[in-house]
Structure 1
């Protein structure tokens, strides 16, 4: 989604030649983007998305706060203050500069001005107890949300120019086929070039392809590979990054031309991955947020964003 396709080491253009004793003039470069960006202690992050330029947003599953930072400098601050009981999961920025959030246990979604943090709209999909609106994908015509407890997608249609609809102008799309498997825990979602949607089923470790018109679905053949604990999905071309939280593994999958099957090319691992939740791409790097779901949340628990080679 509209990422800055540039090298992470940017040449610094010198205005004049700087001479040093005993050596020729040296070319200078800016410092590399930080490999780790600290979030506020106790933030309890879940969703991450990169907006315009090098701006990154992270949402809190504790109280729904949204932190905004700069991947170039590593600095940031809270854009949207948290409210107890208003947890957020996935989030994305659209072409109009609006920040969409999946409001997790709240059963709905919210839309904010990504520059000011002002709330622009709210959609209440369900009041059913135990619902978890988890992740979303934005297309030209609609925004689609997964629910980890219910076998449905929530669809918010967009008007001309991406115009927001009224608060009640959404539909609930029942799912059929393998996407209707009970207790599969639907999580990450991406859009395919042909208009279908790809959704991670976290507990059975599968990917399902869903027709957004009918709700019909079929499994994506991964050759027996399990994506158990699949949380966030990131798609660039035919390369899919499956961020598997409690395994601390990112599976890099090469999908076929019809997006019906894929082969795992490699797994990204390392001590910097501490139960990663979601991520996004910027140039040749994948940025992921460590949710640290294996530790008890608390005000002194540290959280961060880390950069890995894509």
Structure 2
């Protein structure tokens, strides 16, 4: 049986060697290192908090923000979902999760304030009412080895990664965002250049759509020292995105905002400029911040970028504080 530390490595896709690689950085590839240790000027103008405090022992792995000024976080310990107000920093647990053995990993929020939650080892996709926390629907997917990791919303579907199998799950949405029947989720096998890692380690983690919406971008922390693949959403054929030598060995959740890709790593944030189709990207800068403690995902609201700190590999003790930090855009 895996130790708890190894289990957390599987959840977050981070090992000691990979972490060391991320800390080396990518300065040799033409990117600009930027320190963001203090709030930017927009923070002073808006008065919004630069740190969102989560419940002690919460252990976040993802973040979702919709049009409304609320951030949603999921816990790896029981699957609770916490909502924080971006204007005040105050928040509360809106759904307690299903308890031991269940997870809330990646999250996305749509314009109806519905929260789509990737359920990790629980093999569940859950859709919550982001106001009340009530479960709207659940979908069971995959097999005994499935870990539903991260999610991206597109106009006609919600897409989820399966970290331990070379496949994605597609939850189709109706013309007005209607949720499907429970048996309507489909599985897309990844092919082409996709390389699946060993059975005891994560492979697919974060997911996003290309800037032009023609394909999906999926992080593969196993192949080529941590890479990004462009996936055809119809065929599953995957082609490696040329990142100009940048590696993503510890990246979990990613965000594409316009033509910018934000990829949190062990203790920094890689900011890359994508071509519209997602075939190529180049490092624009590497952002460091004294408040980073293994940022694990990213979301934007207005002119601010929010990143939750997973604090890996520190064990998630009940009294251990967790938070998310805000950076002003443009970085």
Q: Equivalents in 2 of 1:280, 1:293: separation in Å?
A: 19
Residue of structure 2 equivalent to 1:88 = 104
Which gives a bigger RCO, structure 1 or 2 (Cα 8 Å, sep 6+)? Answer: 2
Structure 1 residue ranges without an equivalent (≥5) = 1-6, 11-29
Aligned to 1:110, which of 126, 135, 143? 126
**What's the RMSD between the two structures over aligned residues?**
1.5
Q: Equivalents in 2 of 1:194, 1:291: separation in Å?
A: 29
1:76 aligns with 2:94: no
Q: Equivalents in 1 of 2:115, 2:186: separation in Å?
A: 20
Shift of 1:303: 0.3
When normalised by structure 2's length, the TM-score is 0.81
Maintained 8 Å contact 1:243/1:249: yes
Residue of structure 2 equivalent to 1:140 = 155
**Greater helix percent: which structure?**
2
1:282 aligns with 2:298: no
Shift of 1:180: 4.1
Aligned to 1:190, which of 196, 203, 208? 208
Maintained 8 Å contact 1:51/1:57: no
1:294 aligns with 2:313: yes
- Is 228-237 or 211-220 further displaced after alignment? 228-237
Q: Across the two proteins, how many residue pairs are aligned to each other?
A: 281
Residue of structure 2 equivalent to 1:38 = 53
Q: Please show how residues 198-209 of structure 1 align to structure 2 within 5 Å.
A: 198-203=217-222, 204-209=225-230
Q: Equivalents in 2 of 1:191, 1:282: separation in Å?
A: 18
Task: Report Cα offsets for 1:24-70 as digits up to 9, x if no partner.
Answer: xxxxxx6x211112111111111111123211111101110011111
1:240 aligns with 2:258: no
Maintained 8 Å contact 2:66/2:111: no
Structure 2 residue ranges without an equivalent (≥5) = 1-41
Q: Equivalents in 1 of 2:218, 2:277: separation in Å?
A: 16
Q: Equivalents in 1 of 2:243, 2:51: separation in Å?
A: 31
When normalised by structure 1's length, the TM-score is 0.87
Residue of structure 2 equivalent to 1:18 = none
Task: Report Cα offsets for 1:187-244 as digits up to 9, x if no partner.
Answer: 1111122420001112331000000100001011011111211111111111110111
Maintained 8 Å contact 2:43/2:328: no
Shift of 1:9: 5.0
Q: Please show how residues 1-310 of structure 1 align to structure 2 within 5 Å.
A: 8=43, 10=45, 32-82=47-97, 83-128=99-144, 130-183=145-198, 185-192=203-210, 193-203=212-222, 204-244=225-265, 247-310=266-329
Q: Equivalents in 1 of 2:54, 2:196: separation in Å?
A: 36
